Structure 1
Amino acid sequence: MHKKRGYKRETPIELVRDYKLFAIACEGSKREPEYFKILRYLSKKIAVDVIEDIVSEEEAISINPNKSAPKWVLDRAVRYIEKEGLNDDDDLWFVMDIDRWSEAQIREVASYCDKFPNWHIVLSNPCFEVWLYFHKKANIATSESITCSDFKTEISTFEKGGYHPHKFLPQLEEAIANAKNADSDKNHFIPKVKETKVYILVEAIIEVVGKNDFENFIKNILPKLPNK
């Protein structure tokens, strides 16, 4: 059980937590939350929260009844912080797909993130499956996939029995390297088609975890986790 997340002065020192929190808002779709939830087992040095698990849709609707984007995702994140607390050393990440948002909406979320040093946005173009692609293959230019539906179908062919994060996470370091190499404009937060910025988030997590804990996760922890 994690220690208290608050950092108020009256919090007893024995309850002050000793890990870095990565709070991730990924729009409530199934594949992304399943992927990021497994990363919470990487090390005791970190905690990984999927915001949608903690702030229900009903709670979010009470804040923003119209579910207007991007205010919807921002309000949900703010509600999460109110419930769980966010230290100065913690990070809040928005993991978003280009195909689900207009550029104006994306820039609005990004502009909001710019107001806080520990708020970040990472995008995939067109979708999260581009990030998954890089776990298995380095050259995405050879892929004939264009739409999210195309990529989802292609990803399902990479492993016998279809996609499961357990089958992809052992290649996490390769995914970081492949996605970074494919990023044609590292200075711009909006990726071009068939590119993704998710490697920035995962690289930040691995940096905190450290090489030893990461290797232990891949060799000893991941194989023992339920994979259904």
Structure 2
Amino acid sequence: MSRNRRNGRTRRTGFQEPKRFIVVAMEGRATEPCYFDLFRTAREHPMQYKPVSNPKDKSRPSEVYDRLDLAFRAYERSRDEGWLVIDRDAWSEAELDDVCRRARASGYHVALSNPCFELWLYLHKRDNRQFADRHDCQRALGEVLANYSPDRKGSFDPQGLRDGIEAALERAAALDQHPDTPWPRHQVTRVYRLVRKLMSGPTTDNTGERLHS
């Protein structure tokens, strides 16, 4: 009889800690998925990024919630996290309030950008400036990010943003002066909260090279 058995202990062979999944449903079908590909998680790591597909191109906040809620049924709520990535855009305050209420009741997180997701990308390159609306923000991003244009939103290379992630985290967090509100009424992007989660473990770039530790 082995010493472990004599001591009342059984050695567990080949045991692996259960994986933790970060499940993300996004409003956009081009810009957001292109960017978040930066955080494709290494296979062996216990934290895995799982984007939710959007085959019918449904972008209303309520539709993003429904897609996440359906996809998240395959995961364990006690370990895993569900995230909605949505924009202020021209959606009504009532709809955004309702989606944030439903998300909170379900234990999901909301990474809302006001006016749009492109603000988060812009903060990788420049300090914040006030934008008139989402179109103004998208035009400004096209001036600082190679190969991005409002007409070809998914054509940019996300690798060009890698060096600016830490700066974007700092700039976005500094903008969020009222972090306890369900969603920001002023120009703020809360994508920084999701990116902090995704950076909590090693990820790889498209070549398999380690991106973050």
How does the TM-score come out when normalised to structure 1?
Answer: 0.71
Shift of 1:181: 0.9
- Conserved in 2, the CA contact under 8 Å of 1:97 and 1:128? yes
Which residue of structure 1 aligns with residue 183 of structure 2? 190
Which residue of structure 2 aligns with residue 78 of structure 1? 69
CA distance in 1, matches of 2:66, 2:146: 40
Please state which structure has a larger fraction of its residues in helix.
Answer: 1
Shift of 1:52: 1.9
More displaced, 146-155 or 69-78? 69-78
Q: Which amino acid aligns with 1:174?
A: A
1:81–1:16 Cα change, 3 Å: farther
Whose radius of gyration is greater, 1 or 2?
A: 2
Q: CA RMSD in A?
A: 3.0
Q: Which runs of 5+ in 2 are unaligned?
A: 1-12, 149-155, 209-213
Q: Does 1:45 align with 2:46?
A: yes
Shift of 1:108: 0.8
Instruction: Indicate which of 107, 126, 141 corresponds to 1:137.
Output: 126
Q: Which runs of 5+ in 1 are unaligned?
A: 1-12, 59-66
1:14–1:91 Cα change, 3 Å: farther
Deviations 1:116-160 (A, max 9, x none): 33x11121110001111111122x13x5x3221221121122144
1:42–1:150 Cα change, 3 Å: farther
CA distance in 2, matches of 1:96, 1:90: 20
- Conserved in 2, the CA contact under 8 Å of 1:37 and 1:48? no
- Conserved in 1, the CA contact under 8 Å of 2:88 and 2:115? yes
- Conserved in 2, the CA contact under 8 Å of 1:122 and 1:189? no
The 5 Å alignment of 1:3-152 reads 18-41=18-41, 44-52=45-53, 56-57=55-56, 69-82=60-73, 84-117=74-107, 119-138=108-127, 140-141=128-129, 143=130, 145-152=131-138
Q: Which amino acid aligns with 2:172?
A: A
Q: Percent identity?
A: 26
How does the TM-score come out when normalised to structure 2?
Answer: 0.75
SS at match of 2:106: coil
